[in-house]
């Protein structure tokens, strides 16, 4: 029996997609939630000095998307064919590009940088959102197979802010006829951003699934 241990902070962020893969696979794992105080003495023990970190029978794997890819391949959420897997990876890469484009807004909104949050929302976040969700919409329209089994996926977690649920569901899968890890990655982010910026999802009905 393989033993899994996922270490991240007590919030959603870069660890949430991996948690959701575990939930979808109905796989038990040790869910370690750090605070800034408990993270500090452990930082030097992590491969890149940051979290999330996944341990598989004691072996460490870092970087959130590498973790998700590994778990998705292990539990069957990485595409049915090599080409589907490559499409999923391409969407994840597009997501990484988008996150780089909007990070000034995001870090300022979280208090890690200084700046005019409202101006950054208009000048940085919303243009990046429009570009990225436009790409996502194209994939959703092109892929006519599969619908999200929303009632069967426990996309609810408990963090230091209380219970946080994902109330965003796309209209269909991004790739193929089965849920993949990039569906979870995008869904979690859109849910998070819609909670922060209610107008984030406006104009993208395929992405919101009608919510």
Q: For 6-36, write each residue's pLDDT tens digit.
A: 999 999 999 999 999 999 999 999 999 999 9
61 within some domain: yes
Do 67 and 123 fall within a single domain?
no
Does 123 map to a domain? Answer: yes
- Rounded to an integer, the average pLDDT of 73-99 is 98
- Residue 90 domain flag: yes
- The residue that leads in pLDDT, 209 or 84, is 84
Q: Are residues 181 and 117 in the same domain?
A: yes
Quickly state the pLDDT bin for 208 (edges 50, 70, 90). Answer: confident
Q: What number is the average pLDDT over the span 31-56?
A: 98
Q: Bigger pLDDT: 137 or 169?
A: 137
How confident is the model at residue 47, as a pLDDT?
A: 98
The pLDDT value recorded for residue 169 is 52
Q: What is the mean pLDDT of residues 69-85?
A: 98
Domain contains 109: yes
| Domain assignment of residue 207, yes or no | no
Q: Using pLDDT thresholds of 50, 70 and 90, give the confidence band for residue 146.
A: low
- Same domain, yes or no, for 26 and 89? no
CB atoms within 10 A of CB 200: 23
The pair of three-digit structure tokens given for residue 101, joined into one six-digit string: 């484009």
Query: Which of 36, 59, 75 is the last residue in one of the domains?
Result: 75
> Distance (Å, rounded) from C-alpha 205 to C-alpha 139?
13
Domain enclosing residue 18, as ranges: 4-75
Distance CA 67, CA 55 (A): 10
Q: Is the pLDDT of residue 96 over 80?
A: yes
Other beta carbons within 10 Å of 202? 12
pTM: 0.87
Of 56, 75, 94, the last residue of a domain is: 75
* Arithmetic mean of pLDDT, 82-108: 98
- Residue 167 Cα to chain centre, angstroms: 14
State the Cα–Cα distance between residues 171 and 189, nearest whole angstrom: 16
CA distance 189 to 71: 19
Q: 173 and 86 share a domain? A: yes
In whole angstroms, what separates CA 190 from the centre of its chain? 9
The CATH number assigned to the domain holding 91 equals: 1.20.1050.10
Distances in Å between the alpha carbon of 25 and those of 21, 30, 154?
A: 6, 14, 11
Q: Is residue 206 part of a domain?
A: no
Q: Within 13 Å and on the Cβ side, how many CA atoms surround 174?
A: 29
- The verdict on 98 and 182 lying in the same domain is yes
Phi-psi region for residue 75, left (φ > 0), alpha (ψ -120 to 50) or beta? alpha
Q: Domain containing 54 — which CATH number?
A: 3.40.30.10
- Final residue before a domain boundary, out of 22, 51, 75: 75
**Cα–chain-centroid distance for residue 55?**
19
Q: Note whether 111 and 87 are same-domain residues.
A: yes
Q: Is residue 209 part of a domain?
A: no
Closest CA to 128 of 152, 107, 100, 150: 100
Q: Report if residue 211 sits inside a domain.
A: no
pLDDT for res 60: 99
Residues 67 and 106 in one domain: no
Q: Which residue has the higher pLDDT, 165 or 139?
A: 139
Domain count for the chain: 2
Per the prediction, the chain carries an average pLDDT of 89
């Amino acid at each position: 029996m393989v033993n899994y241990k996922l270490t991240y902070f007590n919030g959603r962020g870069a660890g949430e997609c991996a948690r959701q893969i575990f939930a979808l696979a109905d796989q038990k794992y040790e869910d370690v939630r750090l605070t800034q105080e408990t993270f500090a003495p452990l930082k030097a023990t992590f491969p890149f000095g940051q979290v999330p970190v996944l341990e598989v029978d004691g072996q460490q794997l870092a970087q959130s998307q590498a973790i998700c890819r590994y778990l998705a391949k292990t539990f069957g959420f990485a595409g049915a064919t090599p080409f589907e897997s490559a499409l999923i990876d391409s969407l994840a890469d597009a997501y990484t590009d988008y996150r780089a484009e909007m990070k000034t807004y995001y870090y300022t909104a979280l208090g890690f940088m200084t700046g005019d949050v409202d101006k950054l929302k208009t000048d940085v976040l919303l243009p990046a959102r429009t570009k990225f969700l436009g790409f996502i919409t194209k994939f959703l329209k092109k892929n006519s197979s599969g619908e999200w089994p929303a009632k069967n996926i426990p996309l609810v977690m408990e963090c230091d802010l209380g219970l946080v649920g994902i109330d965003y569901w796309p209209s269909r899968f991004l790739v193929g006829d089965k849920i993949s890890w990039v569906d979870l990655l995008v869904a979690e982010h859109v849910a998070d951003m819609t909670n922060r910026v209610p107008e984030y999802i406006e104009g993208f009905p395929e992405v919101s699934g009608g919510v």
